[in-house]
Amino acid sequence: MNKFELVFVPFPVIGHLRSTVEMAKLLVERENRLSISVIILPLLSGDDISSSAYIAALSAESNDRLRYVVIPGEDQPTVELHVENHIPKVKRAVAKLVDDYSKVPDSPRLAGLVVDMFCTSVIDVANEFSVPCYLFYTSNVGVLALGLHIQMLYDKKEYNATETDFEDSEVVLDVPSLTCPYPVKCLPYGLATKEWLPMFVHQARRFREMKGILVNTFADLEPYALESLHSSGDTPRAYPVGPLLHLENHVDGSKDEKGLEILRWLDDQPPKSVVFLCFGSVGGFREEQAREIAIALERSGHRFLWSLRRASQDLDKELPGEFTNLEEILPEGFFDRTKDKGKVIGWAPQMAVLAKPAVGGFVTHGGWNSILESLWFGVPIAPWPLYAEQKFNAFMMAEELGLAVKIRKCWRGDQLVGAASVTVMAEEIERGIRCLMEQDSDVRKRVKKMSEKCHVALKDGGSSQSALKIFIQDVTKNIA
């Protein structure tokens, strides 16, 4: 068969872009006849220096098999319109690719577009070029199935989201992809507010138009959810191809002196003795919440590495930053009393930290990439959801799969849209940390077993490698 090409359109935030790039790398490594172009829209967090450096490094790596097409930045509108406003540029980039190939003998043939979960409007571009469109879902199968289930209920007029009602309700949903009843209090903010629900329902309708769905998970992690999706009969085929992790150089972690100092400190700590707290690139806390965490850490008696950042007042304008004076914010004498046991830092080389034997537990916002990284390194987590689908992730990991320790069962708020959260008190946090760091716990044993399965999935003959192979076979049928 002749050569063929896929065009990837990731959502322009760094977490989505990284996993898309890892997906593209895996595919071109596996299939010699395949080439991929990744169209990079202007990043929504454009002021993030590390993101700009990452994109510059990608551009320098471009070659005949894996190309990065960077769309120039400009004033950014709201998140909902960001992708739509760049559709003409995506269309021009695809048209140029097709035109360039038409002029060169033995060039690849366009076989399809692979679009991010937040780029579903690009399906119209695929239709214009008469090629199939595939979805790349950067989170888990469980939340994918939840969104599809709620869309079905909504279209049947059997679902009514009122945020204040849901936050205080004891009502549960029967979600086909979960074995446990799902409390409506654990619904992601976007599925529980009249403001955002129509967008997510529309997104789920478009998911159903896709030829197939690549999901950043692996078969042994979510067997029940995968089976429920496949047996529903009205959704595209799901390919569990994860975990897609940027593992290169994770041991070195950082060429930055601060990063190296953190890793050297970890090397001096006993195995599994340190609790690591880190909340993603847009996760931050108000002063009163930071104080409660500090009290809990000190009372717990455990060694700690705490990546603490100040909550942003408006994420559209600025990312979380550093507190100007931690001595004023944290309890008086905190640093003196904990100087031999812990470190409070700003940015953390998360992957490199999780790889260190000293780390025994991870308090995380529960972003899906962070969860997969913790599973890869066999580190148990205590999720503290801050935005997006993280409330679902926390429920699934703790209640459904038994792979996490819960600090509390239900969480309020969403930092991405400025929805207020409730201050979590030191007693709850301390209890969660003690449970997380228990050396012989059932959760720790289950995480260790799942970590082994995680590694097997990516080996030759593993479930994720097999899913990739089937995906490639399905794509080639489009142009046979």
Task: Please state which of the ranges 99-103, 251-255, 403-407 shows the lowest mean pLDDT.
Answer: 251-255
Structure confidence at residue 42 (pLDDT): 87
Domains 4-138+210-242+460-477 and 257-454 share a fold: yes
- Confidence label for 161 from pLDDT (cuts 50, 70 and 90): low
pLDDT digits (tens, 9 = 90+) for 422-449: 999 999 999 999 999 999 999 999 999 9
Structure confidence at residue 420 (pLDDT): 81
pLDDT digits (tens, 9 = 90+) for 372-398: 999 999 999 999 999 999 999 999 999
Structure confidence at residue 241 (pLDDT): 97
- Confidence label for 80 from pLDDT (cuts 50, 70 and 90): low
Structure confidence at residue 191 (pLDDT): 92
Reply yes or no on whether the pLDDT at 252 is more than 70. Answer: no
- Confidence label for 232 from pLDDT (cuts 50, 70 and 90): confident
Ranges of each domain in the chain: 4-138+210-242+460-477, 257-454
Reply yes or no on whether the pLDDT at 249 is more than 60. Answer: no
- Who contacts 289 (Cβ-Cβ below 8 Å, separation ≥6)? 423, 424
Structure confidence at residue 327 (pLDDT): 92
Reply yes or no on whether the pLDDT at 254 is more than 80. Answer: no
Residue 316 vs residue 187, higher pLDDT: 187
Reply yes or no on whether the pLDDT at 216 is more than 90. Answer: yes
Task: Please state which of the ranges 14-23, 263-272, 308-317, 438-447 shows the lowest mean pLDDT.
Answer: 308-317
| Mean pLDDT on 124-131 | 96
Q: Closest by alpha carbon to 424, among 399, 407, 405, 406?
A: 407
Structure confidence at residue 2 (pLDDT): 84
Q: Closest by alpha carbon to 69, among 132, 126, 5?
A: 5
Q: List, in sequence order, every beta strand (DSSP E) within 117-269.
A: 133-137, 172-173, 182-183, 212-215, 237-240
Structure confidence at residue 8 (pLDDT): 98
Q: 257-454 is classed in which CATH architecture?
A: 3-Layer(aba) Sandwich (3.40)
On whether the CB atoms of residues 11 and 43 are closer than 8 A, the answer is no
Structure confidence at residue 204 (pLDDT): 97
Reply yes or no on whether the pLDDT at 251 is more than 80. Answer: no
- Confidence label for 199 from pLDDT (cuts 50, 70 and 90): very high
Reply yes or no on whether the pLDDT at 75 is more than 90. Answer: no
Structure confidence at residue 48 (pLDDT): 60
Please report the DSSP string for 36-101 in residue order: EEEEEPPPTTTT-HHHHHHHHHHHHH--SSEEEEEPPP-----HHHHHHHTHHHHHHHHHHHHHHH
Question: If you compute the radius of gyration of the chain from its CA atoms, what whole number of angstroms results?
Answer: 22
- Confidence label for 479 from pLDDT (cuts 50, 70 and 90): confident
Look up residue 134 and give its DSSP letter: E
Q: Closest by alpha carbon to 38, among 83, 8, 73?
A: 8
On whether the CB atoms of residues 4 and 111 are closer than 8 A, the answer is yes
Q: What percent of the chain has pLDDT over 70?
A: 93
Structure confidence at residue 271 (pLDDT): 98
Tokens 């895996």, located at residue: 26
| Mean pLDDT on 122-127 | 97
| Mean pLDDT on 203-219 | 97
- Confidence label for 14 from pLDDT (cuts 50, 70 and 90): confident
Residue 405 vs residue 80, higher pLDDT: 405
Reply yes or no on whether the pLDDT at 264 is more than 80. Answer: yes
Q: Closest by alpha carbon to 308, among 328, 294, 295?
A: 294
Domain 4-138+210-242+460-477 fold: Rossmann fold (3.40.50)
Reply yes or no on whether the pLDDT at 6 is more than 80. Answer: yes
Structure confidence at residue 257 (pLDDT): 86
Task: Please state which of the ranges 86-100, 136-150, 311-325 shows the lowest mean pLDDT.
Answer: 311-325
